Structure 1
């Protein structure tokens, strides 16, 4: 099931902003540093990476999170296959993706490994560092329940809960819980109270921790054994 194309405008010297949600795709301060702080460190990565480790994500966006993870996999030697599945309702065009990623010199050397296949319509590929990426297009409220996979770590990177509440509702986060391995983790930039409550109801031990940049707090969570 293919999603609808993302609607974009470019602001503040080249930051892509969703016209549907009026929200930027990454931090206006430093999107790459935000990814490392929120999604990687928030899930204890790269320290937990190893053969067969599984990452899942709500909100593929520009692909910056995947490429940052690929850099960490490559830095570890790339000998272990890591698997990442991302759910995206409104995929970017390859040209827009490439323009957005050009803002980050650190990923520039590997961005073509994503944008080239993406332009050809491929949504399953292997990025540098032996990161096996699959992007599932369509509404996550439909595609996640149908997914037969499990994750050891989740990147919850949808647009702001205030502007895109559907991606943070109790039913969808319950599916995140259902598709999380024992002791699996979640990290997200938001500390919205209803998101934390929904994660707790989904079976997670939830913590509010220091956020990145202007965001005072973010959320991490670990699946509780029952």
Structure 2
């Protein structure tokens, strides 16, 4: 979920635990809700991008911050075909296999999909159900400008802006806009004003909407 620097390509996340929830030591921030992380993912990233209603064969989701893989698994559970969809996730500090397995053990309902991810992790190209996942390891500020893809939907899931401001900088969010297909969307749990302004400047029509659980607001948008 974090963002790296030029020499961070081989670094792994260092994890502490609050109950069954992994917390990134570098950012002192949990990877998912202390309540129901899967419900949070579905509310923020799926519903926030009007998924699964918009999914179709060839649809491409991109993500800043792969973390535990929970978002990818929720997407795979939501897509039942026919055909396949793609997901590209940018991650500077990938989780160790054992940490990911421990985190995902909190979601037995993900079953076979989680086992498919874990059996191939760490890997750069992983099939999860009907999703063809590509992991781009490294600093998104360096990797995203050279990416050749265009996303139909973005999951913006870096650690909180106050704890990891580099992930929410104007230049990086402008690149998100440049790598979004016409009519494409984004969703994120944060409602920080500077993030909303940067995404608006990147070309999105931005809306602040109800967040998950105790979080009053989140943000979503559509490319104008």
TM-score (norm 2): 0.95
Shift of residue 3 of structure 1?
Answer: 4.2
Say how many residue pairs are matched. 217
Contact 1:87 1:136 in 2 (8 A): yes
In structure 2, the partner of 1:89 is 92
**Runs of 5+ unmatched residues, structure 1:** none
Judged with a 3 Å threshold, the aligned counterparts in structure 2 of structure 1 residues 186 and 87 are, in CA distance, closer, same or farther, namely same
In structure 2, the partner of 1:101 is 104
Contact 2:123 2:135 in 1 (8 A): no
Q: Give a deviation string over 1:159-202, Cα, whole Å, max 9, x none.
A: 00000010001000000000000010000000000000000111
In 2, Cα distance between the equivalents of 1:122 and 1:174?
28
**Runs of 5+ unmatched residues, structure 2:** 1-7
In structure 2, the partner of 1:45 is 51
Q: Give a deviation string over 1:53-81, Cα, whole Å, max 9, x none.
A: 000000000000000110111xx3x3221
Q: Is 1:196 aligned to 2:196, yes or no?
A: yes
Contact 1:124 1:135 in 2 (8 A): yes
Contact 2:185 2:222 in 1 (8 A): yes
CA RMSD of aligned residues (A): 1.0
In structure 1, the partner of 2:3 is none
Residue pairs, 1:55-94, within 5 angstroms: 55-73=61-79, 76=80, 78-94=81-97
In structure 2, the partner of 1:181 is 181
Q: Give a deviation string over 1:111-139, Cα, whole Å, max 9, x none.
A: 11001111xx42102111x1000010000
In 1, Cα distance between the equivalents of 2:82 and 2:51?
16
Contact 2:210 2:216 in 1 (8 A): yes
Judged with a 3 Å threshold, the aligned counterparts in structure 2 of structure 1 residues 27 and 53 are, in CA distance, closer, same or farther, namely same
In 2, Cα distance between the equivalents of 1:152 and 1:145?
17
In structure 2, the partner of 1:9 is 16
In 2, Cα distance between the equivalents of 1:104 and 1:140?
28
Shift of residue 109 of structure 1?
Answer: 2.8
